[in-house]
Structure 1
Amino acid sequence: MSLSTTSLRSPRVVVIGAGVGGLAAAALLARQGLDVRVIERGQQPGGKLSQLAVGPSLLDAGPTVLTMRWVFDALFERLGQSLDEQLSLRPCAVLARHAWGPEERLDLLADLEASVTAMADFAGPAQGQRYLAFCERAKEIYDTLEQPFLRSQRPTPWSLAWRVGMSRLPQLARISPFRTLWQELGRYFPDPRLRQLFGRYATYCGSSPFDAPATLMLVAHVEREAVWQIEGGMHRLAQSLAALCQRQGVQISYGREAREILLRQGRVCGVALDQDAPLQADAVLFNGDVDALRQGLLGQPLRQAMGGRPLTSARRSLSAVTWHLQAEVGGFPLSHHNVFFSDPADEGYRREFADIAAGRLPAAPSVYVCAQDRTGDPMPRHSGQAERLMCLVNAPATADARPLTEEELLLCQAQMFARLTQAGLKISPSVHPLQRTSPQDFARRFPATGGALYGQASRGWRASFQRPASTTRVPGLYLAGGSVHPGPGLPMAALSGQLAAEQICAALRSTRRWQPVAMPGGMSMR
């Protein structure tokens, strides 16, 4: 049934995927009076915002902290709720702890003056002032792009300039889209360790700092603004969003897989499931990796109607190898958020990403460690008993072309533990076997990705304009999630869901067969 069909019933929207983008859109659409159903192939909400069991304990297996909380404050408010009433959030005083060796440590702190002092103590007095200049530049880039890019439908370079306005064109020129992040960091940080520290923000978008545009400096500003932990773990956010959906009347079906998005006369008309009768729909929101549509996983007719070619391995974002374990630790004062860098000498950091670009696991990897039982306090307390850890190494997303062998994965594990030991961290695993997740595991969970965790890599100035928009060339089909505009990460995925919901409501409203429900704090229809 098409969007323009006269009917007394509320229009029906089927959302494929219960990731953060899909849940945000589903709740907003139901709040406007639409009949919404979410189909999720897994057994829990959240998509990559998931949990993993190690013995009797559950560990976060995706994002480990929350940034840009204003996105979720606004979302919950639109749904008639308060984020603080639904979840207990705690700000981190230590944004991240970084180490290069037993005596080489540097904390980035929420207190700017304290971070300036720490920088000066670590890399010399002049570096504190250089860091201040970097923070100002990162904020300028963020302020320039927040409204016209992050909060708006996907722009073109020309429409972005128009949205920014003539008076702010000089600021737009200063976002440095034609320089790489690594090149621009060299202007502020002569110390290669600090270029590593701030270059790692490119990996938040699944990209290499040597390829990613300098505009990603804005990520440093986002993290410096505030980093939050959620009491009970990050998966609580997914559970809360799912509960909000159901409170709005959304029906969520877990363990159901969408087999095909059905078309009638070139327009979306429903979704065929792995079992049961097809679901009729006036609109379908796909909250999965867009490459699944380009590869025909949701039907060859849709693939032909969509057009476009699937991403090559070279254009995909990074994947990862992760290890979840319970262990007793000592020798290094872990915070919640920790990064153990490879040796920067002799272009060591560049070689790390060159290995990944060549389809190999890095020979000398940097390692991220989330100590999930610790807070982001300067001296977090812990019981001395076994605690929950997630360790992560960046990896190539080539699971469909060349899966990593068991020998390669075990070697990477040994190198990962060696890196931590070199920095002074001693880990004594508990009796419960550690749980490893490889790129091929991610590829099975997220079809058509090859294990890529962030969709398309941010490579070059055009990357920001190449992510698909929330609307498609197929009438009635919409997109949300980390592989579409405005990009990966929890806040971006939530924004993508909001943008898709706005487009769906605008399309329905234009038929004059339906009007959105009026309510205080209702969804923007710009």
Structure 2
Amino acid sequence: MSTKRIVVIGAGVGGLVTAIDLARQGLEVIVVEKARGPGGKMREIEVDGDAIDGGPTLFTMVPVFEQLFADAGATFTDYLGLKKAEVLARHAWGADEWLDLYADQERSADAIARLAGPEEGKRFREFCDHARRIYETLEKPYLHSSRPTPLSLVSRIGFTHLGALLEIKPYTTMWRLLGHYFRDPRLHQLFGRYTTYVGASPLLAPATLMLMGQVEQNGIWLVDGGMYQITAALARLAEERGVTLRYASEAQRIEIDGGRAKAVTLASGERLAADAVVFNGDVAALGAGLLGEDARRATAPTRPSERSHSLMAWTLTARTEGFPLVRHTYFYSDDYPAEFRDVFDRQRLPQGPTVYLCAQDRNDHDGIGPDGPERLQCLTYAPANGDTHTYDAAEIEQCEERTFSRLEHFGLRVHRQSEASVLTTPDQFHRIFPGSGGAIYGRAAHGWRSSFTRPASRSRIAGLYLAGGTTHPGPGVPMAAISGRLAAATLIQDLVSTSRSRATVTLGGMSTR
């Protein structure tokens, strides 16, 4: 008897989820990861002896993970602690000018009315209703389905629901639609940031992305110990289901024989034969030939102009004083359009950056921090030019000055120490995630076609499948998990289809004809 062997490249969220779903089907699954632990972009950085989240900071769409664990015979909350946030985020335009959005939509509407007037509160409710309708229209036929074409999406939604399809606004930019809903420019900025969840500019991204408002409204969750614990939980479940996790094992080449993926060669020279391979990395690495020339045709190459934004990311421990931080706080620039034109059109660091600060040791509402230094992640947008531009000391110093003096403008003083701060620049992101150019989210969601251009689970090479945030349905922790489930389902479907067409071995190791 024989069992099909699957090699998964990359122990990020998408790769681990794929491995879990495949292992519970009775397949032999080996995950190879070049880092010394799981996580991928959901990484943890040690700073002056403290472990700090150095990747995603928002956790949404918890039911995706609850279903994954339930299907594997486990309970998600047995593996980590969760608390639903009351305050989604704090948004600031000045030291005494800020707004909280709440899990309770009516509290948010009242807060907006106090900030910008009762008419804006009313328009916010209308905006939320529209976001909910878009989310409900696209959740199953798009987010949880193999990558659709425009025609197949219409077919899945149904011709009797064409009105709902028209409401998703693919031909209108987010920025233009926000002008329809809100008069206050501060609210343009606040809700325009939803496009940055997928690395896009609100000036270019389709208004469809307003569905992110409903994603937030469905719940933002705080994870005990930080976001990295999600990865730890996935890795633990994978091992419990029989997955072999091999860290410090870099995949160097995907071997293609007879037009089909047959093996993975590691940097050590070891060859792992496989009945199928799942690549959970930035798909741009495949198109660039970084996994071998034979694997280059697995997906279309990603042009630099198609990339999402990158980041200047400080991970640090520091004492803070002044502005009352909550877990998630946004400090907005004076000119949002100029900021994104700098990043995407001029390919330079913004002259006036918006700053996002995640205060990992704080709760979500009272602004009370620890007595001493606290764990922080501080982000500003940057162009994804890490493969062509090296950020030198002078450029970094200027960016730090702009960023932290901007925070001081809001009354927040961050007492930084060089030994307790780690900066990751676009060129460093490119080295960590080869082929990306430093882009955090793969291809930018610009224009109506962007929803249909991300690679699907099944690559152009037989036996080679794709998972992760640079594939359909897109970036973000839950989306990467969905991509992993889609990759596993597609792979299983192909194995079953093959078994029906010729004598072969079944999934659980039972030989049959």
> If the length of structure 2 is used for normalisation, what is the TM-score?
0.96
1:30 aligns with 2:23: yes
Amino acid at match of 1:306: A
1:61 to 33, 43, 54: 54
Asked if the contact 1:326–1:432 (Cα under 8 Å) also holds between the matched residues in 2, the reply is: no
Q: Distance in 2 between matches of 1:466 and 1:350?
A: 25
Alpha-carbon shift at residue 431 of structure 1 (Å):
7.2
Judged with a 3 Å threshold, the aligned counterparts in structure 2 of structure 1 residues 517 and 181 are, in CA distance, closer, same or farther, namely farther
> Could you give the per-residue CA deviations for residues 193-220 of structure 1, whole angstroms, max 9, x where no partner exists?
1000000111110010000000000011
What corresponds to 1:3 in structure 2? Answer: none
For 2:170 and 2:460, the matched residues in 1 are separated by 28
Structure 2 CA distance, aligned partners of 1:364 and 1:273?
44
**Match in the other structure for 1:359:** 347
**What CA deviation, in whole Å up to 9, does each residue of 1:226-254 have, x standing for no partner?**
10010011101101101111111111111
- Aligned equivalent of 1:143, options 117, 126, 136: 136
Tell me, yes or no, if the aligned pair for 2:299 and 2:455 is still in contact at 8 Å: no
Residue 277 of structure 1, CA deviation = 2.6
Match of 2:88 in 1: 95
- Match for residue 331 of structure 1? 322
Q: Which residue of 2 aligns with 1:470?
A: 457
Q: How does 1:353-392 map to 2 (within 5 A)?
A: 353-357=340-344, 358-376=346-364, 378-392=365-379
SS in 1 for 2:415: strand
Q: Give CA-to-partner distance per residue, 1:417-458, whole Å, 9 cap, x none.
A: 111111111222257431111001100100001100100000
Match of 2:4 among 7, 11, 36: 11
Conserved? CA contact 1:180–1:211, under 8 Å: yes
Report Cα offsets for 1:347-368 as digits up to 9, x if no partner: x111101111211000000000
Assess if the C-alpha contact under 8 Å between 2:457 and 2:483 holds in 1.
yes
Determine the structure 2 residue equivalent to 1:50: 43
Q: Unmatched 5+ residue regions in structure 1? A: 1-7, 519-526
Corresponding residue to 1:219 among 212, 216, 232:
212
- Provide the residue aligned with 1:438 in structure 2: 425
2: distance between equivalents of 1:361 and 1:250?
Answer: 42
2:28, 2:299 → 1: CA distance? 29
Runs of 4+ in 1 over 2 A off after TM superposition: 305-308, 380-384, 402-406, 429-433, 511-518
User: Which residue of the partner structure matches residue 182 of structure 1?
Assistant: 175
Alpha-carbon distance in 2 for matches of 1:230, 1:34: 31
Residue of structure 2 equivalent to 1:282: 275
- Conserved 8 A contact 2:2-2:505: no
Aligned-partner residue type, residue 371 of structure 1: A
Q: Shift in Å at residue 221 of structure 1?
A: 1.0
Q: Which amino acid aligns with 1:317?
A: S
Counterpart amino acid of 1:311?
Answer: T
Give 2:400's match in structure 1, choosing from 400, 413, 416.
413
Matching residue of 1:82: 75
Match of 2:160 among 167, 170, 183: 167
Instruction: Judge conservation of contact 1:365–1:393 (CA < 8 Å) in 2.
Output: yes
Q: How does 1:186-225 map to 2 (within 5 A)?
A: 186-225=179-218
Counterpart contact for 2:307–2:444, Cα < 8 Å: yes
Instruction: State the alpha-carbon separation in 2 of the partners of residues 107 and 278 from structure 1.
Output: 53
Question: For residues 179 and 407 of structure 1, what CA distance do their matches in structure 2 show?
Answer: 40
Q: How far apart, in 2, do the equivalents of 1:258 and 1:324 lie? A: 28
Distance 1:105 1:396, change over 3 A: same
2:265 is aligned to 272
> Structure 2: how far apart are the matches of 1:263 and 1:432?
46
SS at match of 2:490: helix
Name 2:237's counterpart in structure 1. Answer: 244
Distance in 2 separating the partners of 1:182 and 1:406: 35
The superposition leaves residues 398-428 of structure 1 with CA deviations (integer Å, 9 ceiling, x where unpaired) of 0112233321221111100111111111222
Partner amino acid, structure 2, of 1:486: P
Gaps of 5+ in 2: none
Where does residue 340 of structure 1 map in the other structure?
A: 331
Q: Distance in 1 between matches of 2:202 and 2:2?
A: 51
Identity of aligned residues (%): 48
Other structure's SS at 2:19 match: helix
User: In the aligned structure 2, how far is the partner of 1:284 from the partner of 1:383?
Assistant: 46
| Counterpart position of 1:523 | none
Counterpart position of 1:459: 446
Letter in 2 for 1:508: L
Q: State the one-letter code of the partner of 1:247.
A: E
CA distance in 2, matches of 1:484, 1:130: 34
Q: In 1, are the aligned partners of 2:299 and 2:459 still within 8 Å (CA)?
A: no
Q: Distance in 2 between matches of 1:74 and 1:517?
A: 22
Contact 1:361 / 1:408 at 8 angstroms: preserved in 2? no
Residue identity in the other structure for 1:425: L
